Structure 1
Amino acid sequence: MEDVASEIAGVAVEDVEYLRVDGLPLMATVYRPEGDGPFPMVLEIHGGAWCRGSRQDEHALNLALAGQGVVVAALDFRMPPQGAYPASLCDINLALRYFKANAGRWNSQAGLVGVMGVSSGGHQAVLAALRADDRRYGVHALPDGAGQDARPAFVVACWPVIDPIGRYRYAKAARDGGQPYPAALDRVIPDHEKYWLSEDAMQEGAPAVALERGEAMALPPILCVQGDADIVHPRAHLERFIDAYRKAGGEVEVRLYRDQAEGFITKQPDAAASAEATGDIAAFIKRFGAM
C-alpha cells in the first residue's frame, strides 16, 4: 500500500483493511488526533465520477480535519470494472457498520460516526445515509459487529452529484450544444454510463427523486458545501434536493463559497476559501458528531 505520512503534529495515520470482496482488499486510511477523545469520526468517500480517484485524493482536507479534532477514515470502495451500481453502496454500508462497531479503537464512539463525500462521493454519502437500512446495500456480513446499523450521525456533502440522471443529461446537452463548456463534462459522460449502466438506474439512485416519490428514508442532518461558480455540479439540482429533504422533515445546512469552482478545497487546499470551508465542515461535524 502507498505510504501516507502525517504532516501535522498530533495526528497519527494508518491503513486498515475493513472489507475483502472476492479476494479484493478494501482499505481505509485513518487519520486520528492524539488524545483520549471521544472524537467525532467521519468516513470520507472520494470523488471521480464513481469510476476514478483514490482514498488519498482528499489527503490535505482529511489531515486538516484530524488536526481540528476529527477522526477521518478515507475509504476504498469498488469501482468499475470491479463493480457497478450498487457495489460501492454495499461497501460504504459495510464501512459504516465496521467503523461504528470498532470506533473505540480510534477513540470515538458508534454514535459519533458520520459520513462525508466529494462530488460523486458526496452523492454516495447522501444515498448511503438515506438508505442505511436498504437490504440491497447491506449485503456484506460483519461477524464482529452483529446488530450494528449503518445509520450515520451526520452527512457532509461537498459539491455532490446529487441528481445523477439530471447531471448526465445536463452534460450531454452541454456537449451537444456547440458552446464552450467545462472539459470535465466530457469525462463524466462515459463514467456515468460505466457505473450506472442505465438511465433507469441513475434515476433510481437519485436522492431527490426518491424523496419526491415518497420513499421512506433516514434523515440525518446534512451540510452541503459548494462553490457558487461551480457549473460542473448544477446548483439547481442541489436546490431541488434541499427542498425535497426539508419537505421530508430533514435538516440541511448550506455553505456556498464566493467565486469558487468545482473541487476548490481539493484543488487549492491552501487557499483562504478552502481553509474557511474546512473550518465550517469541522464545526458542523463537532456539533452533530457530539455526545
Structure 2
Amino acid sequence: MTTAVLEGKTADFDVDEVEYLRHGDKSLLARIYKPRGAGPYPAMVECHGGAWCQSDRFTERLRHEYMASHGIVSIALDFRSGNEDPYPASVQDINYAVRWAKLNAGALKTRADLIGLSGQSSGGHLAMLVAMRPRDPRYAAIALPAGSPGHDASVRCVVMTWPVINPLSRYRHARRALAAANPPDWPKSIMARQDSYWLSEANMEEGNPMLALERGEPVLTPPAVWFQGRDDTLHDYKDTESSFDGNEPQRFCANYAKAGGSIALEYIGMSRGVGHAPDLSKTGDMFDRMVAFIGTA
C-alpha cells in the first residue's frame, strides 16, 4: 500500500477499551485492537452480529485479533441492543462511532481516509446501511463534541460476513418456514428478534440496503466484499417474492454493481448451518482474504 502500513504479520498488538459514547448512564465501549508500530494502519469499525438483539464487542474476537496481528486496527463496538432500543438506535451509534474514529484517528494509529466498516450477520447489514447512508440526518443525529471538525460517516470500504442484507425478505422467509409442515425451530427466534428491533415490516423495508438499491436511492457504494458460508439458509436463500433468478447474495451484488459499486461475493468452505453460532476458527483462509481486500480497497 502507498497510503498506509499493512504488514504481512506484525504478531504483536495491544488491546484497549474506550468509552466512545454514552446514553445517560449507559456507557458504550469500543474494544480496540491496535498493531504495535507507528502506522498509520487501515482501520475497521466492527459491528457484531446477533439478530440485532444479541452479542457484544467480544463475540468475534478471533477476527479482531487476526486483523490486528496483520496490520489492521480493529475497533469492536458495543451498541444499543434491539431488545431495548429499536431501529435506528444501533445505526446511530455506529454512524457516530465512524465519526468518532475519524476524530481520534491519530490516537488509533490510522487516518480518517483509511477507516472502513465490517460486520457479521445483522452486523453486516448495519455496516452496509451506515456505509450507504453516511449523511442520513436520522443516522447522524448524535453530534460529536462541540468544536469538533465536521466528519461524516463515509468509509473507505465494507467487509460483510453473511449479512442479513434484506431484513424484510429474511423475515418473510422465516414466516414461510414456520408455516410449513414440520417447521424447524429457528424461525421463532429469528422473527421474535426482528420484531423487537424493527417493530414493523415498514421499517424492515425502509432500513434495507437491498431495497434501497432497487428503489434507486442516491446511496454511496464504497468497495465491498461479501463472505458467505455454505449451507446457510438464513442468509443464502432465494427470495420467492423477487423476480431475480439467484439467491440474495447474488441479487445484492448485481444491484450494487448496477449502482456503480465494486463488490465481490466470495464463498468459503465452512458450512454455515442454522441453529448454532458460527465457529470462526473454521473459516479456512477467510481472514487472509479479508486482509488482502482491506489492503487493496
TM over 0.5: yes
Alignment partners' CA distance in 2, 1:169 and 1:188: 11
Q: Secondary structure at the match of 1:17?
A: strand
Shift of 1:82: 3.2
Tell me the residue number matched to 1:161.
164
Tell me the residue number matched to 2:15.
13
Shift of 1:206: 1.1
What is the aligned residue count?
276
Alignment partners' CA distance in 1, 2:217 and 2:138: 15
Structure 2 residue 286 is matched with structure 1 residue 277: yes
Tell me the residue number matched to 1:112.
114
1:68-79 map, 5 Å: 68-79=70-81
1:117-171, Cα deviation, whole Å (9 max, x unpaired): 0000000000000000100100001025331111010000110000000000001
Alignment partners' CA distance in 2, 1:228 and 1:287: 26
Tell me the residue number matched to 2:241.
none
Alignment partners' CA distance in 2, 1:188 and 1:179: 17
Alignment partners' CA distance in 1, 2:225 and 2:273: 17
For 1:136, give the aligned amino acid.
R
1:40-189 map, 5 Å: 40-143=42-145, 145-179=148-182, 181=184, 183-189=185-191
Tell me the residue number matched to 1:257.
268
Question: CA 1:23–1:223 in structure 2 vs 1: closer, same or farther (change >3 Å)?
Answer: same
1:161-193, Cα deviation, whole Å (9 max, x unpaired): 000000000011111102454x43331110000
Alignment partners' CA distance in 2, 1:51 and 1:156: 21
1:50-92, Cα deviation, whole Å (9 max, x unpaired): 0111110000111011111110000011113431000111000
Give unmatched runs, 5+ long, in structure 1.
Answer: 1-7
Q: CA RMSD in A?
A: 1.6
- TM-score where L is the length of structure 1: 0.91
Shift of 1:262: 4.9
Q: Secondary structure at the match of 1:267?
A: coil
- TM-score where L is the length of structure 2: 0.89
Shift of 1:222: 0.6
Tell me the residue number matched to 1:27.
29
Question: CA 1:277–1:259 in structure 2 vs 1: closer, same or farther (change >3 Å)?
Answer: closer
Tell me the residue number matched to 2:256.
245
